[in-house]
Amino acid sequence: MGEKDRRIFAENLTYHMNRNGVNGITLAKYMGVSSATISDWMHGKKMPRVDKIKSLTNYFGCKMTDLVDEKPQDYYLNPETARIAQEIFDNKDLHALLDSARGNKPENLRLAAEMLARMKDTNPDG
């Protein structure tokens, strides 16, 4: 595996660790490897063997391609926030919310969307 493959894997692994709230020590214990090995994977210095990648897919509940293929990751960190953001995206009048909502809680994003929609509904200029 080349440098690009290691970089892609490192980005995907870091993404899944962050998404699942897992640190390197916890993952190292689960995988039966040292925390230095996890660090090497996360920084693209080394690539795990296929059996280790399969163990990671079991741990994260993802497919192997989610770890080894290059693809854009979810912009929003919370799945519920992502769902609400898609609703906002589909409503062209509310696009301004999307740029500032990445780390927000879903309920805050929903509240902001509802407030803007109400403001638009009460605006006499339409």
Amino acid at 56: L
Domain boundaries, the chain: 3-68, 79-122
Fold entry, domain 3-68: 434 Repressor (Amino-terminal Domain) (1.10.260)
Instruction: Record the pTM.
Output: 0.58
CA of residue 126 relative to chain centroid, distance: 36
Residue 98 burial class via C-beta count within 10 angstroms: exposed 0-12, middle 13-18, buried 19 and up: middle
* pLDDT tens figures, 26-62: 999 999 999 999 999 999 999 999 999 999 999 999 8
126 residues of the chain, pLDDT tens digit each: 689 899 999 989 998 898 888 999 999 999 999 999 999 999 999 999 999 999 999 999 989 998 998 865 555 666 777 777 777 766 666 655 555 555 667 787 778 778 877 776 665 554
Nearest 5°: CA angle at 110, between 109 and 115?
100
Angle between helices 79-90 and 106-122 (to 10 degrees): 20
